[in-house]
Amino acid sequence: MKFVEFILKKSKFIAPIIIIIALVHGFFGVHRWQYYPLYLLGVLYFVLILLDYLDIFNLNSKTSKWIISIIILLIILSIISILGFQKQDLPTPSGEFQIGTKIFELEDKSRDEVYTEEEGDKRKIKYQAWYPTDEIETLQKAKWITEGTLLTTNLGKNILLTPRFILNHTAEIDSNSYYDAKLSRSLDKYPIVVISHGWKGFREIHTDFAEDLASNGFVVLSIDHTYGSQAVKFNDGKVAYLKRSALPRLVKPSTFDKAAHELAVNFGKDVIMVLDEIERLNKEDETFMEKLDLDKIGLLGHSTGGAGDVFTSLKDKRVKALIGLDAWVNPLNIEDLKKGLDIPSLFLRSEQWTKRQSVEPLNVLVKNSDNANIIQLENTNHVDFTMVYMYSPLSKYVGFTGKEGGRESAKMQREITLKFFDENLRNNNNEDFLKEILEKYDNLKLKEIN
């Protein structure tokens, strides 16, 4: 066929060009799976040219159709993989401060680890701090995902149910933060926000919130909830992978409910452990000593992390404000929810979860709370409260995120979060901030609870 003849006679330069591209990628260490279809296309060109040169290639109509189909497929795969899974920059923080970051390990020797059978195993977590800094000139910029491909391979398997390597490009993305920077001395004390990811999340899945708050003068601590997180690598080399049995599927409702309750409570106890750690940091850590405002602590949690935050806020008076992102409070005891919260609380809810989840437990909590509101984000999915927009710009178009999800939705959420914590942890005296936000964005709806 003419197309194949063109390949063999007129476009022999394509194979060498693709091979040169592959060699250049190899020389600079930028081999990525996204280019593999392109490399295969070059190999196919090379083989066709070689067979034609040796005159052992019998080109008939059926063979030509197969060749054309393979070439078209490889071209399509090349375009989709290169454009659909490209490295993207993290959102630019809105504040005036540069951002420092440090990573800590924390063990509670009084608390048994419920997700292992190892005798004497105690609960151990990691958390990452983001904070305002002024001096970054000689410092190393942190990666967005510090565990690298150890985490991203697990993420591809557990979240997208795709080949393990499909999200490995995200391990190469830089954050906007710098390791071990000195805390800015611009303020006497800094308010604190503690972030909890959801089931199958990880501590950096909300880095956009953390960096934005830190750039605006908050100290932010994000928890890796061990065995509810994708993968946590400790300093001794041990890796704690997601324990799927912690939230089992295809079991009796009573079995699921018991596991879900234990998971939510475990997340909450992790938060309490970090609240205790904040007091230690303020007493003796070289970066944060006497610079943390222990009277200005807020919580931000997604899904199961939101449930853990509610559990904590109902019990611990150190918490002064709370934001829940599709907070999955269903596993908590309904009698506890009826007690309500006595702190400013804002619950952002995706349209997807309004349809798929029972909203009554959250309604019960809000109805019995002194100062709590629910705002629904129309045309959004549960994952739109995370940084899944960093995985692929195609996520919105294949239905993974909502129609109004992605970067723009995340930017709006960061604005809401900053204004809420500004009002409730820094007393900026803008009681109309919620009204202003609702008027600014058409897809936000304040839900009335009867």
pLDDT at 207 over 60: yes
Report the candidate in 434, 437, 274, 430 with the shortest Cα–Cα distance to residue 346: 434
Predicted pLDDT of residue 160: 59
CATH number for 98-447 (one of 3.40.30.10, 3.30.365.10, 1.20.120.1750, 3.40.50.1820): it is 3.40.50.1820
pTM strictly above 0.85: yes
Half-sphere exposure of 134 (CA within 13 A, CB side): 4
pLDDT at 64 over 70: no
CB 227 within 8 A of CB 240: yes
> How much is the average pLDDT of 335-351?
97
pLDDT at 158 over 90: no
Say how far residue 335 (Cα) sits from the centre of its chain.
Answer: 32
> How much is the average pLDDT of 193-215?
98
Predicted pLDDT of residue 40: 77
pLDDT at 35 over 80: no
Percent of the chain with pLDDT over 70: 86
Q: What is the pLDDT confidence band of residue 14, given thresholds at 50, 70 and 90?
A: low
* Span of 312-321, 401-410, 427-436 with lowest mean pLDDT: 427-436
pLDDT at 238 over 60: yes
CB 349 within 8 A of CB 323: no
Q: What is the pLDDT confidence band of residue 33, given thresholds at 50, 70 and 90?
A: confident
Query: So where are the chain's domains?
Result: 2-84, 98-447
Q: CB under 8 Å to 368, separation ≥6 — which residues?
A: 337, 338, 339, 340
* Span of 56-70, 268-282, 366-380, 398-412 with lowest mean pLDDT: 56-70
Predicted pLDDT of residue 278: 98
